[in-house]
């Protein structure tokens, strides 16, 4: 039974270039199970929901048992919130607190999804063959919120004027047919760049770790045991996963700053 299970999981690994997780083991053990096939098909979404549930549970426990002198989980989460507040407010100024819940949750969610695949038996929802679906969904959320903010804070007419490049004079208005399509393409390209950057980096990490795990196992032909060649790259993945979550959040924050009215304009 164990050999059959390993054969199924190895076959799946060769097709996806990623290490097996709990769901692939279920699929290998029950190859004709409708539930197993469903979980394999939507495994990225499944693990994304697991990460969301863990974040919600952690904040619920910390809030329910909050104390004046924080300790343990509450202290850790407060440090995370304070650090994110400093970053967001440093870019958006006094508007930072308004968008901190969204941007802070975005950072923590992406970070934990990136790191999830480094735990044996789990999967990074932002990587792998279907990871682009998760990253694109996150980017669309950012895009929609940014556009909603622009329309509500600037007004429909001023936002349209902003898309036209804020023309002044005959020369400026004559350039509108060129500037408006370019600006629209740029707005659409923003979420795509966020999604594909995150997906590409996390997928690259998964493929690299998978390759060195396979190489370490292949050394059993010459050595009595395998060699964990992937260990140094796990530490590298910790760094790059954090950087990618930070880059995604920082760029999202910058997109908000571009559509928010400045203090002089608002006055």
Question: Residue 6: its pLDDT value, please?
Answer: 37
26 occurs within a structural domain: no
CA atoms within 13 A on the CB side of 26: 15
Is there a domain that residue 104 lies in? Answer: yes
Domain assignment of residue 115, yes or no:
yes
Q: Which residues of 52-90 are buried (b: 16+ CB within 10 A; e: fewer)?
A: eeebeebbeebeeeeeeeeeeebeebeeeeeebeebbbe
In a domain, 243, yes or no: yes
Total tally of structural domains belonging to the chain: 1
CB 123 within 8 Å of CB 116: yes
pLDDT of residue 7: 43
Block means of pLDDT (10 residues each) for the chain, length 267 residues? 41 60 76 76 92 94 79 85 93 91 96 92 87 94 94 88 83 85 88 92 89 83 78 90 95 92 56
222 lies in which domain range?
Answer: 64-266
> Residue 204 falls within a domain, yes or no?
yes
Cα 169 to Cα 174: distance, rounded to the nearest angstrom: 9
Q: What is the pLDDT, as a whole number, of residue 31? A: 61
**pLDDT, position 155:** 87
Tokens for 249?
A: 């959040």
Q: What is the pTM of this model?
A: 0.86
* In-domain check, residue 146: yes
Q: How far is it, in rounded angstroms, from Cα 209 to Cα 19?
A: 8
Q: What is the pLDDT of residue 262?
A: 65
Q: Is residue 105 part of a domain?
A: yes
| Burial category of 148 from C-beta neighbours within 10 Å (exposed 0-12, middle 13-18, buried 19 and up) | exposed
pLDDT given at position 10: 44
pLDDT for residue 1: 39
Contacts of 227 (CB under 8 A, 6+ apart): 216, 219
DSSP bridge partners of 121 = 21
CA 185, 188, 194, 200 torsion-angle sign: negative
């Amino acid at each position: 039974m164990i050999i059959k299970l390993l054969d199924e999981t190895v076959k799946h690994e060769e097709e996806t270039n990623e290490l097996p997780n709990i769901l692939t083991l279920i699929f290998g053990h029950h190859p004709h199970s409708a539930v197993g096939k469903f979980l394999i098909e939507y495994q990225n979404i499944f693990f994304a929901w697991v990460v969301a549930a863990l974040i919600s549970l952690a904040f619920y426990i910390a809030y329910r048992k909050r104390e004046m002198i924080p300790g343990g989980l509450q202290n850790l989460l407060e440090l995370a919130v304070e650090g994110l507040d400093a970053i967001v407010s440093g870019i958006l100024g006094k508007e930072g607190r308004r968008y901190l819940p969204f941007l802070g949750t975005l950072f923590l969610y992406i970070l934990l999804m990136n790191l999830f695949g480094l735990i044996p038996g789990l999967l990074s929802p932002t990587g792998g063959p279907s990871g682009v679906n998760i990253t694109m969904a996150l980017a669309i959320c950012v895009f929609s919120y940014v556009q909603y903010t622009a329309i509500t804070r600037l007004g429909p007419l001023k936002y349209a004027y902003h898309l036209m490049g804020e023309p002044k004079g005959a020369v400026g208005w004559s350039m509108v047919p060129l500037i408006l399509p370019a600006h629209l393409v740029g707005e659409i390209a923003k979420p795509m760049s966020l999604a594909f950057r995150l997906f590409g980096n996390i997928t690259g990490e998964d493929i690299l770790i998978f390759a060195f795990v396979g190489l370490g196992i292949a050394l059993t032909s010459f050595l009595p045991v395998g060699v964990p060649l992937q260990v140094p790259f796990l530490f590298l993945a910790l760094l790059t996963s954090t950087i990618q979550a930070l880059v995604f959040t920082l760029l999202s924050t910058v997109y908000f700053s571009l559509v928010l009215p400045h203090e002089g304009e608002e006055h």
